[in-house]
Amino acid sequence: MSDVEEIGPQGLGELKDKVARIIEEAKRQGATASEVSVSLEQGLSTTVRQREIETVEFNRDQGFGITLYLGQRKGSASTSGSSEDDIRQTVAAALAIARHASEDAFAGLADASLMAREQPDLDLYHPWAISPEQAIELALACEAAAFEADPRIRNADGTSLNTHSGSRAYGNSNGFIGAYSSTRHSLSCVMIAEDQGQMQRDYFYDVSRLGDALMAPSAIGERAAQRAVSRLGARPVPTCEVPVLFSAELATGLFGHFLAAISGGNLYRNSSFLEGALEQVLFPEWLSLDERPHLPRGLASAAYDGDGLATYAKPFVDKGRLCSYVLSTYSGRKLGMPSTANAGGVHNLFATPGSEDQAALLRRMGRGLYVTELMGQGLNLVTGDYSRGAGGYWVENGEIQFPVQEVTIAGNLRDMFRQIVAIGSDVETRSSIHTGSVLIERMTVAGS
């Protein structure tokens, strides 16, 4: 097998051929079933700090993941080599592992009749013809704008531009082979503000399938500076129980915890607080959560899942009611349920947005904590108990009064989901989870 030279639609045929040949080799060596993934990726990354170039990196990687079955026994192996010997040896290694594996009644490929029949073009591939010199220039311009935005910006903690292109193919011995190309570009800026002996750090970033669609470097730098400066003078607040407003970019994490709790892997391991919650009302009846996998240029769009099943639009929560788990073929079998075509995760989750912007939500909250930063991993997925270090802003009479730091917010996710008062119109689009700011009726804020 020769190395794949081209990333992009023009190289997908060769990727598919490689998958087909590996499947044939697996059959020749005695595998009863097989699935193969091949990837080719390249990227440019540059970071500047304090007006100096810190790193410039270019990478180009190729990888083969081979999973083989001997009846109900499964073995997996991977390689970055693409020669005939590399592939033969990797297939042999996967088979050797399968021979020593325990039988698993739930192992095996998805039913052949469920494989994706069509693979629509989701417009994910938009390479950015940018040179290292141009990337450095944009990063420096972003950082310069941050320094110029406010004299209290005294230091920089890194401004990075990244551009990535990749092609992937997946196939199995049930006759399915799919492939697609995608791109992802980002620019981020982290700045440090200092005043009266206190230092505060904050950031801003943008990400897109299209390099030209990124926010202007100057705008990203200015936002990073403004956010850092606005945190100067931060202090704790006394322990209290108050409403909490999660900024849109942090609210994505709340719904990410929910997806983890309804994922098949956690459910069949009995490690989720939402085990057995199907058809229960978990959220207010005005709130729905739905998946849109075929969104053009979506950051998590996909025509098929990790098992080769066709993805499709569906709700996970309909009018507050949990109507579907997140299942792969394997986890579905373990639970006695059909796959939801979510092997590998959820593809573009949307929370029902409201009509109120962030300022309106602050007015509705009246008095409480607006959270813009979370620290630590204080979530117990078995019980739903939630406790995180937090920073943000104290709100009185519907207006921000001063920045807050060194507090902890705590609650239980079941209660938090049920007590969602509103979701803002300020929808976060830089994530695979699309949601506005989330206002929760009451949480414990532990401070001084």
pLDDT of residue 288: 98
Q: With 50 as the cut, is the pLDDT of residue 2 above it?
A: no
Could you give the CA distance from residue 107 to residue 388 in angstroms, rounded to a whole number? 37
Q: With 90 as the cut, is the pLDDT of residue 441 above it?
A: yes
Q: With 60 as the cut, is the pLDDT of residue 322 above it?
A: yes
- pLDDT grade for 1, boundaries at 50, 70 and 90: very low
Could you give the CA distance from residue 356 to residue 422 in angstroms, rounded to a whole number? 8
For 435, how many CA atoms within 13 A lie in the half-sphere containing its CB?
Answer: 26
Which whole number is the average pLDDT over 159-186? Answer: 97
pLDDT of residue 5: 57
- pLDDT grade for 6, boundaries at 50, 70 and 90: confident
pLDDT of residue 280: 98
Which whole number is the average pLDDT over 60-67? Answer: 96
pLDDT tens-digit map of 253-283: 999 999 999 999 999 999 999 999 999 999 9
Percent of the chain with pLDDT over 70: 99
Average pLDDT, the chain: 96
Q: With 70 as the cut, is the pLDDT of residue 168 above it?
A: yes
pLDDT tens-digit map of 120-145: 999 999 999 999 999 999 999 999 99
pLDDT of residue 316: 98
Which whole number is the average pLDDT over 43-64? Answer: 96
Q: With 80 as the cut, is the pLDDT of residue 4 above it?
A: no
Which whole number is the average pLDDT over 234-256? Answer: 97
Could you give the CA distance from residue 353 to residue 127 in angstroms, rounded to a whole number? 32
pLDDT of residue 377: 82
- pLDDT grade for 172, boundaries at 50, 70 and 90: very high
- pLDDT grade for 376, boundaries at 50, 70 and 90: confident
pLDDT of residue 228: 97
